[in-house]
């Protein structure tokens, strides 16, 4: 078992000094607990092997072994202990120092978020999420975060040879509501119908997705397979784009981040078929109550959109919920006015194809 460099952990994760001191004092006690030591050492091995599920299991087991009032702090002790192993992964990949520091600073953001929802108490409850970072599967590059993954949504994306347009087709037997969203989205099951996917000879009959509205069109469309170039299907390698809390999401910062990400992943010899995102920030309905040329709508319009299943709109938590700015915001006020007038909001998926990403 090794000691923890608490100054390094604080510098990398941006946690406050009082929290650092509290964790350091508690770790001095935990070092004498054989079960905890074993878990920390197993967790360090899991990080070395980039095994997120195994690392998460170690954290869960550790939390069960400590007193209840400290269970929300154990994930931070774990992260501090495995930090050297995680940094070794980044060093092996020759990740630039700025990207390393920006990536790990997400810990501090979620510690602050925990305090907002727990009357100012210290703690950390997003360890499943942060293990993407510690296993070197997610990187903060400028304003945005990027995670290597695969396409898992029930759609197939093509490019039409005839006019070079993008076509997104829904899988068969999807349950869709009257608004064109997946059944259960926002708790709505009204007007339910089912998607079709029928192949006859060289023709395909299927329900397309309206890439502007992010909804599934009920009337099927027939395509010739000879006119379709496959771009993305289930299992295709993609980059998942995440938007962390931080500076305004200006078009310039987004463009710069995407350009840097292109170079970054090319240097790592990581290939992908699309840049993918699902967020409240991709909802086309945002343009109904926000400025068309504002940062949020500009970001939303970059993406070709498709519906995703969320029981509750993500925007309600992020803009009106406990994680919203304590002073309120013009976005929150405009959202409330829009909802009071009967407006709807959705968490929406979107993609940039590799061709668009390379621009």
Report the helix count and the strand count for the chain, using DSSP H and E: 13, 16
Mean pLDDT for the chain overall:
94
Instruction: Name the pairing type of β-strands 221-224 and 203-206.
Output: antiparallel
Range of lowest pLDDT (74-78, 165-169, 326-330): 326-330
CA 113/CA 121 separation, integer angstroms: 10
Whole-model pTM: value is 0.93
Q: How many angstroms separate the Cα of 252 from the Cα of each of 258, 259, 278, 298?
A: 10, 11, 21, 11
pLDDT at residue 358, rounded to an integer: 47
Asked whether the predicted pLDDT for residue 51 surpasses 60, the reply is yes
Contact by Cβ (8 Å): 353, 273? yes
CA 72/CA 121 separation, integer angstroms: 10
pLDDT at residue 203, rounded to an integer: 95
Contact by Cβ (8 Å): 139, 333? no
For range 271-291, the mean pLDDT: 96
For range 87-93, the mean pLDDT: 97
Interval 13-28: pLDDT, tens:
999 999 999 999 999 9
Query: Domain-by-domain residue ranges, the chain?
Result: 6-136, 139-359
Confidence of residue 357 (pLDDT cuts 50, 70, 90): low
Q: How many angstroms separate the Cα of 1 from the Cα of each of 32, 33, 147?
A: 11, 12, 31
Asked whether the predicted pLDDT for residue 359 surpasses 50, the reply is no
Q: Which CATH number does 139-359 carry?
A: 3.40.630.120
pLDDT at residue 327, rounded to an integer: 45
Contact by Cβ (8 Å): 284, 348? yes
For range 287-312, the mean pLDDT: 96
Interval 195-234: pLDDT, tens:
999 999 899 999 999 999 999 999 999 999 999 999 999 9
User: Tokens standing for 32?
Assistant: 């004498």
Q: Where are the alpha helices (DSSP H) in 118-250?
A: 127-134
Residues written for the chain: 359
3-state class of 359 per DSSP?
coil
Interval 29-39: pLDDT, tens:
999 999 999 99
């Amino acid at each position: 078992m090794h000691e923890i460099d608490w100054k390094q952990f604080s510098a990398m994760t941006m946690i406050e000094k009082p929290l650092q001191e509290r964790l350091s004092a508690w770790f001095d006690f935990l070092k004498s607990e054989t079960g905890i030591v074993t878990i920390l050492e197993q967790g360090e091995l899991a990080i070395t092997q980039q095994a997120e599920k195994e690392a998460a299991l170690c954290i869960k087991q550790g939390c069960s072994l400590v007193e209840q009032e400290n269970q929300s702090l154990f994930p931070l002790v774990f992260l501090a202990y495995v930090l050297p192993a995680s940094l070794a992964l980044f060093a092996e990949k020759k990740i630039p120092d700025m990207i390393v520091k920006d990536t790990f600073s997400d810990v501090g953001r979620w510690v602050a978020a925990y305090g907002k929802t727990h009357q100012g108490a210290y703690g950390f409850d997003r360890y499943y999420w942060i293990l993407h970072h510690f296993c070197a599967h997610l990187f903060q590059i400028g304003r945005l975060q990027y995670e290597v993954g695969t396409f898992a949504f029930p759609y197939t994306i093509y490019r039409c040879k005839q006019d070079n347009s993008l076509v997104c087709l829904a899988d068969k037997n999807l349950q869709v509501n009257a608004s064109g969203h997946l059944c259960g989205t926002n708790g709505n099951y009204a007007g339910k119908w089912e998607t079709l996917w029928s192949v006859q000879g060289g023709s395909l009959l299927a329900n397309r997705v309206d890439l502007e509205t992010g909804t599934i069109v009920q009337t099927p469309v027939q395509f010739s397979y000879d006119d379709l170039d496959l771009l993305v299907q289930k299992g295709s390698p993609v980059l998942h784009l995440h938007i962390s809390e931080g500076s305004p999401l200006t078009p310039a910062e987004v463009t710069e981040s995407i350009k840097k990400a292109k170079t970054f992943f090319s240097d790592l010899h990581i290939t992908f078929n699309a840049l993918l995102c699902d967020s409240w920030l991709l909802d086309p309905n945002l343009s109904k109550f926000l400025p068309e040329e504002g940062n949020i709508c500009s970001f939303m319009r970059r993406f070709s959109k498709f519906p995703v299943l969320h029981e509750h709109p993500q925007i309600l938590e992020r803009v009106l919920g406990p994680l919203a700015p304590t002073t309120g915001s013009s976005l929150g006020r405009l959202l409330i006015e829009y909802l009071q007038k009967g407006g709807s909001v959705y968490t929406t998926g979107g993609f940039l194809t590799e061709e668009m990403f390379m621009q």
